Amino acid sequence: MTTEAKICGIKTRDALTAALDGHADYVGFVFFAPSPRHLDIATARRLADQARGKAKIVALTVDADDATLDEISNAIAPDFFQLHGHETPERVAGVKTKFGRKIIKAIPVRTSKDAARAEAYTKVADLILFDAKAPSGATRPGGHGQVFDWTLLDAVSRDMPFMLSGGLTPGNIQEAMQATHAQAVDVSSGVETAPGVKDAELIRRFLHAVKTAKQG
Ligand SMILES: O=C(O)c1ccccc1NCC(=O)[C@H](O)[C@H](O)COP(=O)(O)O
């Protein structure tokens, strides 16, 4: 099994080119106004057109209403919605049916109880994304470059396809893959020089580390 890689929070052509050249399997665009990675619809459409057919396009939203999802869906035709808020299993199922897009559901983790919450989503989401729980007082629920305790995933079913995120970097990604056996890995801050500023060389190094890691 080869591990898939996602580069999240892409805002520029250069960053997207680095991700596509490095054979990223997924590219993520953030639609959440308080984020330094937030994209307007016109920019997202241009980037999605560049990515289409080369990587799976992921639109990240946080507790978005149907009108917002509809606008994003029509503008960029994402392969996946990444739901990164407090969406219930019922809401996830509703979004999947209404918009006909696959779903990545983010599960914020600080304790084993948090990780166990994923079970409720396995039938409605196509992929679970385990991410570090945001620090208290944070203005966004992800993208803080924080690692969580990967051993908390040990109790999670091996049959559950999941993506690992939270503080991954070119330096720790191989250890993370060995520790968790994640089917896919996701990075944002770890390939940036400042919040929202992607670095092509860090993207290249991250993807190279994923693609050349020894599996097992
Ligand atoms: O990136 C953001 O600004 C963001 C805003 C709102 C919700 C989620 C957000 N990011 C999530 C991600 O980019 C990834 O899915 C993941 O959490 C990786 O983050 P990082 O720890 O920065 O690598």
Asked if 181 and 196 touch (Cβ cutoff 8 Å), the reply is: no
Q: How confident is the model at residue 4 (pLDDT cuts 50, 70, 90)?
A: very high
188 alpha carbon to ligand 1 midpoint, in Å?
Answer: 6
- Best residue for ligand 1 mutational test, from 164, 188, 192, 197 (most atoms within 8 Å of Cβ): 188
CA 74 / ligand 1 centre spacing (Å): 23
ipTM of the complex: 0.96
Residue 216 pLDDT more than 60? no
Indicate which CATH number applies to the domain containing 121: 3.20.20.70
pLDDT at position 212 over 80: yes
Is residue 127's pLDDT more than 60?
Answer: yes
Name the phi and psi angles at 97, rounded to 5: -70, -45
State which residues form the domain around 65: 4-212
Tens of pLDDT, residue by residue over 90-119, are: 999 999 999 999 999 999 999 999 999 999
The reported pTM is 0.96
Write the pLDDT tens digit of every residue in 146-192: 999 999 999 886 778 899 999 999 999 999 999 999 999 999 999 99
Give the pLDDT score at 155.
85
Give the Å distances, CA to CA, from 110 to 31, 86, 166.
24, 15, 11
Provide the greatest CA pair distance for the chain: 44
DSSP letters for 60-116: EESS--HHHHHHHHHHH--SEEEE-S---HHHHHHHHHHH--EEEEEEEESSHHHHH
| Total structural domains within the chain | 1
Mean pLDDT of 60-79: 98
Residue 213, pLDDT score: 86
HSE toward the beta carbon, residue 200, CA cutoff 13 A:
9
